[in-house]
A and B are shown apart, each in its own frame.
Chain A
Amino acid sequence: MKPKAIFTIIFSFFALLCTSQTIEETYRFAEEQFQKGNYQSALTEFQRVAFFDSEHQFGNIYRKIGDLFYASGDYNSAAKNFDIASRIETSDSIKTEILLKKVLCFFAQENYYFALSELLSITSFQNSRLANKTGLYTGIAFFGIEDYNQALASLSPIFPQEALPELEQIFSRFEKMRKRYRPGKIEMMSILLPGLGQIYCGNLASGINSMVLVGGIAVVAVWTWHTYGLLDALLSVSPWYYRYYTGGVQNARGAALERISHEREEAYQKIIELVETNLIQRP
Protein backbone atom coordinates (compact mmCIF):
# COMPACT_ATOMS: atom_id res chain seq x y z
CA MET A 1 0.00 0.00 0.00
CA LYS A 2 2.77 2.39 0.92
CA PRO A 3 4.72 2.18 -2.41
CA LYS A 4 1.45 2.64 -4.30
CA ALA A 5 0.70 5.83 -2.40
CA ILE A 6 4.25 7.14 -2.98
CA PHE A 7 4.03 6.43 -6.72
CA THR A 8 0.65 8.12 -6.94
CA ILE A 9 1.97 11.23 -5.20
CA ILE A 10 5.12 11.36 -7.38
CA PHE A 11 3.18 10.90 -10.64
CA SER A 12 0.63 13.48 -9.55
CA PHE A 13 3.45 16.01 -9.50
CA PHE A 14 4.33 15.08 -13.10
CA ALA A 15 0.94 16.39 -14.11
CA LEU A 16 2.12 19.88 -13.12
CA LEU A 17 4.75 19.69 -15.85
CA CYS A 18 2.22 18.80 -18.53
CA THR A 19 0.84 21.73 -20.53
CA SER A 20 -1.58 21.81 -23.42
CA GLN A 21 -0.68 23.23 -26.81
CA THR A 22 -0.95 27.01 -26.75
CA ILE A 23 -2.97 28.89 -29.33
CA GLU A 24 0.24 30.30 -30.85
CA GLU A 25 1.65 26.80 -31.25
CA THR A 26 -1.56 25.63 -32.90
CA TYR A 27 -1.42 28.60 -35.25
CA ARG A 28 2.23 27.87 -36.12
CA PHE A 29 1.38 24.21 -36.70
CA ALA A 30 -1.53 25.22 -38.96
CA GLU A 31 0.79 27.53 -40.91
CA GLU A 32 3.29 24.67 -41.31
CA GLN A 33 0.55 22.39 -42.62
CA PHE A 34 -0.54 25.14 -45.00
CA GLN A 35 3.02 25.57 -46.30
CA LYS A 36 3.33 21.81 -46.79
CA GLY A 37 0.11 21.76 -48.77
CA ASN A 38 -1.88 19.72 -46.22
CA TYR A 39 -4.91 21.95 -46.65
CA GLN A 40 -7.42 19.77 -44.83
CA SER A 41 -5.21 19.53 -41.74
CA ALA A 42 -4.42 23.27 -41.92
CA LEU A 43 -8.12 24.04 -42.15
CA THR A 44 -8.92 21.99 -39.03
CA GLU A 45 -6.14 23.70 -37.08
CA PHE A 46 -7.08 27.19 -38.23
CA GLN A 47 -10.68 26.52 -37.24
CA ARG A 48 -9.45 25.41 -33.82
CA VAL A 49 -7.45 28.64 -33.47
CA ALA A 50 -10.50 30.68 -34.50
CA PHE A 51 -12.62 28.88 -31.90
CA PHE A 52 -10.20 29.42 -28.98
CA ASP A 53 -8.99 32.89 -30.02
CA SER A 54 -11.22 34.79 -27.60
CA GLU A 55 -8.88 37.81 -27.53
CA HIS A 56 -8.80 38.14 -31.33
CA GLN A 57 -5.01 37.82 -31.55
CA PHE A 58 -5.13 36.44 -35.06
CA GLY A 59 -7.10 38.93 -37.10
CA ASN A 60 -6.45 37.21 -40.42
CA ILE A 61 -7.61 33.77 -39.31
CA TYR A 62 -11.02 33.90 -41.02
CA ARG A 63 -9.45 35.04 -44.25
CA LYS A 64 -7.12 32.04 -44.14
CA ILE A 65 -10.02 29.70 -43.40
CA GLY A 66 -11.92 31.31 -46.29
CA ASP A 67 -8.95 30.78 -48.61
CA LEU A 68 -8.74 27.12 -47.60
CA PHE A 69 -12.46 26.54 -48.14
CA TYR A 70 -12.15 28.31 -51.50
CA ALA A 71 -9.23 26.06 -52.50
CA SER A 72 -11.26 22.98 -51.56
CA GLY A 73 -14.24 24.18 -53.64
CA ASP A 74 -16.60 24.76 -50.69
CA TYR A 75 -17.66 28.22 -51.87
CA ASN A 76 -20.53 28.64 -49.41
CA SER A 77 -18.26 28.19 -46.38
CA ALA A 78 -15.56 30.30 -48.03
CA ALA A 79 -18.01 33.18 -48.58
CA LYS A 80 -19.22 32.90 -44.98
CA ASN A 81 -15.67 33.12 -43.60
CA PHE A 82 -14.70 35.98 -45.93
CA ASP A 83 -17.78 37.78 -44.67
CA ILE A 84 -16.66 37.40 -41.03
CA ALA A 85 -13.11 38.40 -41.99
CA SER A 86 -14.34 41.56 -43.73
CA ARG A 87 -16.41 42.55 -40.69
CA ILE A 88 -13.52 42.29 -38.24
CA GLU A 89 -10.87 43.76 -40.54
CA THR A 90 -9.85 47.30 -39.62
CA SER A 91 -7.88 48.25 -42.72
CA ASP A 92 -10.21 49.52 -45.47
CA SER A 93 -8.09 48.30 -48.37
CA ILE A 94 -7.77 44.77 -46.94
CA LYS A 95 -11.50 44.79 -46.20
CA THR A 96 -12.19 45.54 -49.88
CA GLU A 97 -9.77 42.79 -50.95
CA ILE A 98 -11.60 40.31 -48.72
CA LEU A 99 -14.97 41.38 -50.10
CA LEU A 100 -13.62 40.85 -53.61
CA LYS A 101 -12.61 37.33 -52.60
CA LYS A 102 -16.16 36.79 -51.38
CA VAL A 103 -17.32 37.98 -54.78
CA LEU A 104 -15.10 35.35 -56.41
CA CYS A 105 -16.97 32.71 -54.37
CA PHE A 106 -20.27 33.94 -55.84
CA PHE A 107 -18.75 33.96 -59.32
CA ALA A 108 -17.69 30.34 -58.87
CA GLN A 109 -21.31 29.51 -57.94
CA GLU A 110 -22.61 31.54 -60.92
CA ASN A 111 -24.54 33.60 -58.41
CA TYR A 112 -24.05 36.95 -60.12
CA TYR A 113 -26.85 38.81 -58.30
CA PHE A 114 -25.24 38.13 -54.91
CA ALA A 115 -21.86 39.16 -56.33
CA LEU A 116 -23.35 42.38 -57.65
CA SER A 117 -25.02 43.15 -54.35
CA GLU A 118 -21.66 42.76 -52.61
CA LEU A 119 -19.81 44.84 -55.21
CA LEU A 120 -22.28 47.71 -55.11
CA SER A 121 -21.78 47.93 -51.35
CA ILE A 122 -18.11 48.86 -51.92
CA THR A 123 -18.17 52.61 -52.22
CA SER A 124 -14.68 53.87 -51.31
CA PHE A 125 -11.46 52.83 -53.01
CA GLN A 126 -8.07 53.22 -51.42
CA ASN A 127 -6.06 53.05 -54.64
CA SER A 128 -6.58 52.92 -58.39
CA ARG A 129 -5.75 49.19 -58.68
CA LEU A 130 -8.43 48.34 -56.15
CA ALA A 131 -10.88 50.59 -58.00
CA ASN A 132 -9.97 48.85 -61.27
CA LYS A 133 -10.38 45.41 -59.73
CA THR A 134 -13.79 46.34 -58.32
CA GLY A 135 -14.80 47.83 -61.67
CA LEU A 136 -13.70 44.67 -63.46
CA TYR A 137 -15.65 42.41 -61.11
CA THR A 138 -18.73 44.66 -61.31
CA GLY A 139 -18.54 44.47 -65.10
CA ILE A 140 -18.34 40.68 -64.92
CA ALA A 141 -21.30 40.53 -62.53
CA PHE A 142 -23.41 42.67 -64.92
CA PHE A 143 -22.24 40.45 -67.77
CA GLY A 144 -23.40 37.47 -65.70
CA ILE A 145 -26.90 38.86 -65.23
CA GLU A 146 -27.00 39.69 -68.95
CA ASP A 147 -27.15 43.45 -68.46
CA TYR A 148 -24.56 44.17 -71.12
CA ASN A 149 -24.99 47.96 -71.22
CA GLN A 150 -24.20 48.19 -67.51
CA ALA A 151 -21.32 45.75 -67.98
CA LEU A 152 -19.79 48.03 -70.62
CA ALA A 153 -20.41 51.08 -68.41
CA SER A 154 -18.63 49.39 -65.48
CA LEU A 155 -15.71 48.14 -67.53
CA SER A 156 -15.06 51.34 -69.52
CA PRO A 157 -13.52 53.41 -66.67
CA ILE A 158 -10.86 50.78 -65.91
CA PHE A 159 -9.37 50.73 -69.41
CA PRO A 160 -7.12 53.41 -70.91
CA GLN A 161 -8.65 55.58 -73.64
CA GLU A 162 -6.89 53.77 -76.50
CA ALA A 163 -8.41 50.40 -75.48
CA LEU A 164 -12.00 51.67 -75.33
CA PRO A 165 -12.82 51.33 -79.06
CA GLU A 166 -11.78 47.66 -78.91
CA LEU A 167 -13.93 47.07 -75.82
CA GLU A 168 -16.91 48.76 -77.45
CA GLN A 169 -16.35 46.70 -80.58
CA ILE A 170 -16.46 43.46 -78.53
CA PHE A 171 -19.77 44.47 -76.98
CA SER A 172 -21.31 45.74 -80.24
CA ARG A 173 -20.31 42.52 -82.06
CA PHE A 174 -21.84 40.44 -79.29
CA GLU A 175 -25.02 42.54 -79.34
CA LYS A 176 -25.22 41.99 -83.11
CA MET A 177 -24.87 38.24 -82.62
CA ARG A 178 -27.54 38.24 -79.91
CA LYS A 179 -29.92 39.94 -82.33
CA ARG A 180 -28.95 37.61 -85.16
CA TYR A 181 -29.57 34.46 -83.11
CA ARG A 182 -32.57 35.72 -81.14
CA PRO A 183 -34.36 32.53 -79.92
CA GLY A 184 -37.82 33.86 -80.89
CA LYS A 185 -36.65 34.55 -84.43
CA ILE A 186 -34.98 31.14 -84.78
CA GLU A 187 -38.12 29.43 -83.45
CA MET A 188 -40.22 31.26 -86.02
CA MET A 189 -37.89 30.10 -88.79
CA SER A 190 -38.37 26.49 -87.71
CA ILE A 191 -42.14 26.98 -87.47
CA LEU A 192 -42.19 28.18 -91.09
CA LEU A 193 -39.85 25.48 -92.37
CA PRO A 194 -38.78 22.65 -90.01
CA GLY A 195 -34.99 22.56 -89.60
CA LEU A 196 -34.38 26.06 -90.99
CA GLY A 197 -33.66 27.56 -87.58
CA GLN A 198 -31.07 24.91 -86.76
CA ILE A 199 -29.37 25.37 -90.16
CA TYR A 200 -29.30 29.16 -89.64
CA CYS A 201 -27.57 28.60 -86.27
CA GLY A 202 -24.92 26.49 -87.99
CA ASN A 203 -26.29 23.16 -86.76
CA LEU A 204 -26.60 21.66 -90.24
CA ALA A 205 -26.95 17.99 -89.25
CA SER A 206 -29.75 18.68 -86.80
CA GLY A 207 -31.53 20.92 -89.31
CA ILE A 208 -31.46 18.31 -92.08
CA ASN A 209 -32.50 15.65 -89.55
CA SER A 210 -35.54 17.70 -88.54
CA MET A 211 -36.42 18.50 -92.15
CA VAL A 212 -36.24 14.83 -93.21
CA LEU A 213 -38.11 13.56 -90.16
CA VAL A 214 -41.00 16.04 -90.28
CA GLY A 215 -41.09 15.88 -94.08
CA GLY A 216 -41.19 12.06 -93.93
CA ILE A 217 -44.07 12.11 -91.45
CA ALA A 218 -45.91 14.63 -93.67
CA VAL A 219 -45.47 12.30 -96.65
CA VAL A 220 -46.82 9.37 -94.61
CA ALA A 221 -49.79 11.56 -93.55
CA VAL A 222 -50.61 12.47 -97.16
CA TRP A 223 -50.23 8.81 -98.24
CA THR A 224 -52.54 7.66 -95.41
CA TRP A 225 -55.06 10.36 -96.33
CA HIS A 226 -55.13 9.22 -99.94
CA THR A 227 -55.22 5.53 -99.08
CA TYR A 228 -57.50 5.43 -96.02
CA GLY A 229 -59.07 8.86 -95.75
CA LEU A 230 -58.55 12.12 -93.83
CA LEU A 231 -59.80 10.91 -90.44
CA ASP A 232 -57.39 7.94 -90.46
CA ALA A 233 -54.52 10.20 -91.40
CA LEU A 234 -55.37 12.66 -88.63
CA LEU A 235 -55.77 10.00 -85.97
CA SER A 236 -52.73 7.89 -86.82
CA VAL A 237 -50.10 10.34 -88.04
CA SER A 238 -50.91 13.74 -86.54
CA PRO A 239 -49.63 12.88 -83.01
CA TRP A 240 -46.25 11.94 -84.51
CA TYR A 241 -46.27 14.99 -86.74
CA TYR A 242 -47.08 17.28 -83.80
CA ARG A 243 -44.44 15.63 -81.63
CA TYR A 244 -41.52 16.00 -84.04
CA TYR A 245 -42.66 19.34 -85.44
CA THR A 246 -42.83 20.99 -82.00
CA GLY A 247 -39.71 19.07 -80.92
CA GLY A 248 -37.86 20.57 -83.90
CA VAL A 249 -39.03 24.05 -82.92
CA GLN A 250 -37.75 23.52 -79.37
CA ASN A 251 -34.55 22.10 -80.77
CA ALA A 252 -34.10 25.26 -82.86
CA ARG A 253 -34.57 27.38 -79.76
CA GLY A 254 -31.92 25.28 -77.97
CA ALA A 255 -29.56 25.71 -80.93
CA ALA A 256 -30.04 29.50 -80.78
CA LEU A 257 -29.36 29.60 -77.04
CA GLU A 258 -26.29 27.40 -77.50
CA ARG A 259 -25.01 29.68 -80.23
CA ILE A 260 -25.51 32.77 -78.06
CA SER A 261 -23.71 31.09 -75.17
CA HIS A 262 -20.76 30.38 -77.51
CA GLU A 263 -20.73 34.01 -78.62
CA ARG A 264 -20.94 35.08 -74.99
CA GLU A 265 -17.98 32.90 -74.07
CA GLU A 266 -15.98 34.32 -76.97
CA ALA A 267 -16.84 37.92 -76.04
CA TYR A 268 -15.88 37.28 -72.43
CA GLN A 269 -12.55 35.73 -73.45
CA LYS A 270 -11.77 38.80 -75.54
CA ILE A 271 -12.57 41.06 -72.58
CA ILE A 272 -10.21 39.04 -70.38
CA GLU A 273 -7.49 39.26 -73.06
CA LEU A 274 -8.03 43.02 -73.12
CA VAL A 275 -7.69 43.11 -69.32
CA GLU A 276 -4.47 41.11 -69.54
CA THR A 277 -3.02 43.43 -72.16
CA ASN A 278 -4.09 46.72 -70.64
CA LEU A 279 -4.24 46.21 -66.89
CA ILE A 280 -1.75 43.48 -66.07
CA GLN A 281 1.04 44.21 -68.48
CA ARG A 282 0.67 47.97 -67.88
CA PRO A 283 -0.50 48.28 -64.27
Chain B
Amino acid sequence: MKAITITDWINRFLHLRTIVLFIFVHCVFFAAKAQSPDYYGISEIKGLFEAHEHKAPKYKSESNKPKNEFEFLTASSFNVYKAFLSSQDNPSCVFHPSCSEYSVQALQQKGLFLGTLYTFDRLSRCHRFIKNDQYIFDPSKQRYYDPVR
Protein backbone atom coordinates (compact mmCIF):
# COMPACT_ATOMS: atom_id res chain seq x y z
CA MET B 1 0.00 0.00 0.00
CA LYS B 2 1.37 3.37 -1.04
CA ALA B 3 1.92 5.93 1.73
CA ILE B 4 0.15 9.26 1.38
CA THR B 5 2.66 12.06 1.30
CA ILE B 6 2.14 15.70 2.25
CA THR B 7 2.18 16.66 -1.44
CA ASP B 8 -0.74 14.29 -2.02
CA TRP B 9 -2.68 15.91 0.78
CA ILE B 10 -1.99 19.38 -0.63
CA ASN B 11 -3.05 18.24 -4.08
CA ARG B 12 -6.23 16.72 -2.70
CA PHE B 13 -6.97 19.90 -0.75
CA LEU B 14 -6.42 22.08 -3.80
CA HIS B 15 -8.67 19.79 -5.85
CA LEU B 16 -11.39 19.96 -3.18
CA ARG B 17 -11.04 23.72 -3.00
CA THR B 18 -11.53 23.99 -6.75
CA ILE B 19 -14.74 21.93 -6.54
CA VAL B 20 -16.08 23.98 -3.61
CA LEU B 21 -15.20 27.20 -5.43
CA PHE B 22 -16.91 25.93 -8.58
CA ILE B 23 -20.10 25.05 -6.67
CA PHE B 24 -20.04 28.37 -4.81
CA VAL B 25 -19.67 30.41 -8.01
CA HIS B 26 -22.56 28.55 -9.60
CA CYS B 27 -24.77 29.01 -6.54
CA VAL B 28 -24.05 32.75 -6.50
CA PHE B 29 -24.75 32.94 -10.23
CA PHE B 30 -28.09 31.14 -9.95
CA ALA B 31 -29.08 33.10 -6.85
CA ALA B 32 -28.35 36.36 -8.68
CA LYS B 33 -30.25 35.13 -11.70
CA ALA B 34 -33.20 34.10 -9.54
CA GLN B 35 -33.26 37.47 -7.75
CA SER B 36 -32.63 39.80 -10.64
CA PRO B 37 -35.48 39.02 -13.02
CA ASP B 38 -38.54 40.75 -11.98
CA TYR B 39 -38.45 42.01 -8.45
CA TYR B 40 -39.84 45.36 -9.60
CA GLY B 41 -42.46 43.70 -11.83
CA ILE B 42 -40.92 45.37 -14.89
CA SER B 43 -42.68 43.01 -17.32
CA GLU B 44 -46.00 44.11 -15.80
CA ILE B 45 -45.34 47.85 -15.91
CA LYS B 46 -43.46 48.02 -19.20
CA GLY B 47 -46.51 48.17 -21.46
CA LEU B 48 -48.33 50.95 -19.59
CA PHE B 49 -49.08 54.28 -21.32
CA GLU B 50 -49.02 52.87 -24.84
CA ALA B 51 -50.12 55.51 -27.35
CA HIS B 52 -53.09 54.54 -29.49
CA GLU B 53 -53.09 55.82 -33.02
CA HIS B 54 -56.37 56.56 -34.72
CA LYS B 55 -56.57 55.16 -38.23
CA ALA B 56 -59.41 55.51 -40.69
CA PRO B 57 -61.22 52.17 -41.12
CA LYS B 58 -60.74 50.40 -44.45
CA TYR B 59 -63.03 48.15 -46.41
CA LYS B 60 -62.64 44.46 -45.61
CA SER B 61 -63.94 41.87 -48.03
CA GLU B 62 -66.01 39.09 -46.48
CA SER B 63 -64.94 36.44 -48.98
CA ASN B 64 -61.70 35.42 -50.68
CA LYS B 65 -63.23 35.84 -54.15
CA PRO B 66 -61.82 38.62 -56.36
CA LYS B 67 -63.87 41.80 -56.24
CA ASN B 68 -66.47 42.37 -58.97
CA GLU B 69 -66.96 45.85 -60.50
CA PHE B 70 -69.71 46.84 -58.08
CA GLU B 71 -67.78 45.69 -55.01
CA PHE B 72 -64.67 47.49 -56.25
CA LEU B 73 -66.66 50.71 -56.73
CA THR B 74 -68.32 50.47 -53.31
CA ALA B 75 -65.05 49.61 -51.56
CA SER B 76 -63.18 52.48 -53.23
CA SER B 77 -65.96 54.97 -52.42
CA PHE B 78 -65.98 53.82 -48.82
CA ASN B 79 -62.19 54.09 -48.47
CA VAL B 80 -62.04 57.53 -50.12
CA TYR B 81 -64.95 58.80 -48.02
CA LYS B 82 -63.40 57.49 -44.77
CA ALA B 83 -59.88 58.74 -45.54
CA PHE B 84 -60.60 62.21 -46.98
CA LEU B 85 -64.06 63.31 -45.86
CA SER B 86 -65.10 61.46 -42.73
CA SER B 87 -61.65 61.95 -41.12
CA GLN B 88 -62.13 65.75 -41.36
CA ASP B 89 -65.72 65.74 -40.20
CA ASN B 90 -67.18 66.30 -36.76
CA PRO B 91 -68.19 63.04 -35.07
CA SER B 92 -71.86 63.55 -35.94
CA CYS B 93 -73.15 59.98 -36.44
CA VAL B 94 -75.09 58.83 -33.37
CA PHE B 95 -74.67 55.11 -34.03
CA HIS B 96 -71.98 52.51 -33.86
CA PRO B 97 -71.08 51.15 -36.44
CA SER B 98 -71.21 54.46 -38.30
CA CYS B 99 -73.64 54.89 -41.22
CA SER B 100 -70.97 54.26 -43.87
CA GLU B 101 -69.74 51.10 -42.13
CA TYR B 102 -73.34 49.99 -41.64
CA SER B 103 -74.03 50.53 -45.32
CA VAL B 104 -71.05 48.40 -46.38
CA GLN B 105 -72.07 45.64 -43.95
CA ALA B 106 -75.69 45.78 -45.17
CA LEU B 107 -74.62 45.47 -48.81
CA GLN B 108 -72.30 42.59 -47.94
CA GLN B 109 -74.85 40.71 -45.86
CA LYS B 110 -78.19 41.51 -47.54
CA GLY B 111 -77.24 42.07 -51.15
CA LEU B 112 -77.76 45.11 -53.40
CA PHE B 113 -81.51 45.64 -53.13
CA LEU B 114 -82.05 45.01 -49.41
CA GLY B 115 -78.65 46.53 -48.56
CA THR B 116 -79.67 49.81 -50.23
CA LEU B 117 -82.98 49.81 -48.35
CA TYR B 118 -81.20 49.14 -45.08
CA THR B 119 -78.82 52.04 -45.78
CA PHE B 120 -81.69 54.48 -46.44
CA ASP B 121 -83.42 53.25 -43.30
CA ARG B 122 -80.31 53.87 -41.23
CA LEU B 123 -79.71 57.33 -42.72
CA SER B 124 -83.29 58.28 -41.90
CA ARG B 125 -82.84 57.17 -38.30
CA CYS B 126 -79.45 58.87 -37.73
CA HIS B 127 -80.30 62.17 -36.01
CA ARG B 128 -80.15 63.75 -32.56
CA PHE B 129 -83.81 63.07 -31.73
CA ILE B 130 -83.67 59.27 -31.67
CA LYS B 131 -85.54 57.47 -28.93
CA ASN B 132 -82.97 56.50 -26.28
CA ASP B 133 -84.90 53.47 -25.04
CA GLN B 134 -84.83 51.79 -28.47
CA TYR B 135 -81.04 51.33 -28.60
CA ILE B 136 -78.29 50.10 -26.33
CA PHE B 137 -75.77 52.79 -25.43
CA ASP B 138 -72.13 51.71 -25.83
CA PRO B 139 -70.14 53.76 -23.27
CA SER B 140 -66.75 52.88 -24.80
CA LYS B 141 -67.77 54.36 -28.17
CA GLN B 142 -70.17 56.95 -26.74
CA ARG B 143 -72.64 55.89 -29.43
CA TYR B 144 -75.83 53.86 -29.70
CA TYR B 145 -75.22 50.30 -30.84
CA ASP B 146 -77.11 49.50 -34.01
CA PRO B 147 -75.67 46.62 -36.06
CA VAL B 148 -77.13 45.11 -39.25
CA ARG B 149 -79.73 42.58 -38.13
Contacts and interface: CB of A to CB of B under 8 A. Distances in A.
A132 B91 CA distance: 45
Contact of A272 (B45, B85, B89): B45
Given A129-B39, A283-B36, A209 B51 contact: no
Interface stretch (A18-26, A85-93, A116-124, A258-266): A258-266
Contacts of A104: 41, 44-45
Nearest to B39: A129
5 contacts: A209-B87, A261-B49, A261-B52, A264-B49, A283-B36
Contacts of A213: 84-85, 88
Contacts of B92: 243
Interface string B32-59: 0001100111101110111111100000
Interface of A: 100, 104, 107-108, 110, 129, 132-133, 136-137, 140, 143-144, 206, 209-210, 213, 243-244, 246-248, 250-251, 254, 258, 261-262, 264-265, 268, 272, 275-276, 279-281, 283
B5 interface: no
B84 A136 contact: no
Interface in B70-118: 84-85, 87-92
Interface residues of B, number: 24
Most buried by B among A132, A258, A280: A280
B50 A107 contact: no
Contact of B49 (A132, A210, A265): A265
B51 A258 contact: yes
Contacts of A258: 51, 53-54
A276 B90 contact: no
Interface of B: 35-36, 39-42, 44-46, 48-54, 84-85, 87-92
B42 A247 contact: no
Contact of B40 (A250, A254, A265, A275): A275
B127 to A, nearest CB: 15
Contact of A265 (B39, B51, B88): B51
A251 B51 contact: no
A244 B89 contact: yes
B88 A251 contact: yes
B39 A254 contact: no
A107 B40 contact: no
B94 to A, nearest CB: 15
B42 A248 contact: no
Contacts of B40: 132-133, 136, 275, 279-280
B42 A276 contact: yes
Contacts of A100: 41
Nearest to A211: B88
Nearest to A105: B44
Given A133-B40, A209-B84, A210-B88, A261 B45 contact: no
Contacts of A281: 36
